[in-house]
Chain A
């Protein structure tokens, strides 16, 4: 496991650095914007904008996890497809399914790690200007966006590992249709009643790259 994680780290570290910087920079920009808004308008107006109009200073962050997941998926699996090097990984003594699972676990851990500092920064800033309810609403609103990053990661891995172009196109279409559903924001916290379904779906999407890798190994 350590060896696979190390191999993946060496392969993707520049992309991980890029995604981390992008997450943190966007979170920092969102916080600076909140600070600016709080300085320009009186606090009651800013609170009213939150309570009645669903003002969310973090909306800039919306698509970043999605692009991060997509980029990491490509960074991890595109090199493996060059000269079909993935075949070597799939023939490791730990077993094919376990090897792919390790690769995906690395990706998931990475996506969580890059999002965490950004979330912590935005949460801390939110607590300076707003009560705990705002921070909870923020996390509820951010949750589907973060999940979309995992979804994009699983789909990009599945598409790249898929051997046949017709299946690749089908997976891209399904991915586009599904991932759009993670961005139907009505107001702060509007995903509260469906969030469990989205979490379940994202967790189940873990199986897609494994299915693709099995077909890749069989050469179909």
Chain B
């Protein structure tokens, strides 16, 4: 008992030192490292960048030359359309397109996926919006869908199952051969979104379905049956781990499918076209992924503490150009090199990449 107590106390003290000392060290010596903003300029046919540093911001053109803010904005006319129009600097034509602010605004899209969004203890209850309510804005439904071993609509006010509605939707899913239990369900619960895409669900066999509610009735769709045979064959081979739904005004991007090996696929267009984003170093457990779209291009940005990867694509997600940069971070700084000697072990319970606490040893 005596030996055990001593070992236990020493072990506890070491764990505490490994947890608190690095944290205190970095509170004292951590510098400020911000990743640059890298965007694809269709005007210049390459990447431009913006870096915040101290009191000033550094803007660079495609050749890496320092430019001023006005020149930077003119290289990204879709992104800064409002400013350019206000200043009277909007060109008469952008890459063969006559600019129309409403169209530019409509075609602008932004999807962001953070590691913590994908690994969060979220209860299996989702709102299934009325997609055709006839109202301009979406309204939160009175019930929540629990789709797992079974399909049930829970009415929040009474904390009970709406058996009739549950049976209606259960039957609709059975009719299109959805096999319980659902392996994965994803949707966007935001009521301020542009429209309702519905819920995407993987059934027990790994088939992907879309579940919607239109005028109180179930609208369910087997995605593979609604896409081209080639895409359906490709979809069947995917090992989907996460589905991200973030509705955009132009309704082009419908869902992001992330495989277990972090390969990212996009479902887009009315016919559920399946396109792969040709990223080289994305890891959904570690990296932040942003997808920006405008009238001509989509740009995917993968970012973590060590590096940034930017991939410019056309509207069909075909790669056009790629940019990569190793980033300066605290571990590469002088304080980081000193820390490597002084603090050989760092233990974190919350590494900011998950909604769960874990044991993260650095």
Q: Which residues does A use to contact B, with CB under 8 Å?
A: 42-48, 50-52, 97, 128-131, 133-134, 137, 174, 177-178, 181, 184, 186-194, 197, 201, 204-205, 207-208, 210-211, 214
Contact = CB atoms under 8 A, between A and B. Distances in A.
29 contacts: A42-B156, A44-B156, A47-B125, A47-B144, A51-B122, A51-B125, A51-B189, A97-B1, A131-B125, A133-B124, A137-B121, A174-B9, A174-B12, A181-B349, A186-B355, A187-B355, A189-B356, A190-B355, A190-B357, A191-B356, A191-B357, A192-B121, A193-B357, A194-B357, A194-B358, A207-B5, A210-B5, A214-B1, A214-B2
A157 to B, nearest CB: 13
Nearest to A181: B349
Given A42-B157, A193-B356, A187 B123 contact: no
Given A181-B19, A204-B8, 15 more contacts: A44-B140, A48-B127, A50-B123, A51-B144, A137-B123, A174-B16, A178-B12, A184-B350, A186-B350, A186-B357, A187-B121, A191-B356, A193-B356, A210-B1, A211-B2
Contacts, number: 102
B23 to A, nearest CB: 11
B5 A208 contact: yes
Chain B residues touching A, range: 35 or more
Main secondary structure of the interface of B (DSSP, over half): loop
B102 interface: no
Contacts of B159: 43, 128-131
Name the prevailing secondary structure of the A interface residues.
Answer: helix
A204 B16 CA distance: 16
Interface string B138-164: 001110101000000010110100000
B359 interface: yes
Greatest chain B CB density within 10 A among A42, A48, A197 is at A48
Contacts of B156: 42-44, 46-47
Given A42-B157, A44-B141, A193 B358 contact: yes
B270 interface: no
Interface string B326-362: 0000000000000000000000011000011111000
